[in-house]
Structure 1
Amino acid sequence: MPAPYPQEFRDDVVRVARNREPGQRLSAIAKDFGISESCLTNWMRQADVEDGARPGKTRDESSELRDARKRIRLLEQENEVLRRAAAYLSQANLPGKGSSPASGRCPHRS
């Protein structure tokens, strides 16, 4: 996947596209900047969301959501480790075959 274009470049291209002369096509602007028309259309759509002119998630909201999902995954992993540790420790504390006989006598004495 190619590296994303810098935000400043995107903002400049969107500004040029928004201020284009009547009759000038987006495809021509996109070609001038070396990007696809669909890329420019997506950038313009996202710019409208950022400006509040269109509903949707802003970059900040998307970033916050991505960070929250990472944190949730990390906490779920930590929770699984703690759950396994608790299960292991509870098994270690159960009386097992190595404990003294039920008769109460010492196994080495007759």
Structure 2
Amino acid sequence: MKKATRARYTLEFKEEAVRLVNGGERISTVARNLGLAEQTLHNWVKAAGNGGLKGPATSSVSAEQMEISRLKAELSRVRMERDILKKAAAYFARESL
């Protein structure tokens, strides 16, 4: 049986996730969009409030991995914006009938 490996996230990724939550997003929504467990994100938000948010123990995160994390966060934000615009377009289309 193979031992599960633990995911490692960059400090920038954690800070961006916490920023989304502090910006008014629900923890469940942000966690789902970023592929995280809700409890993990909750712990990050709590740690950020106490000033103890830290990056991975080892600094073996490559530039490509950091870029992927940034792009995932941006994709999450853009999807949210798209969904809002889609709902607004449907609302105004109904109103004009």
User: Which TM-score band (shorter chain)?
Assistant: 0.3 to 0.5
TM-score (norm 2): 0.46
Q: Answer with 1 or 2: which has the greater Rg.
A: 1
Higher helix share: 2
TM-score (norm 1): 0.41
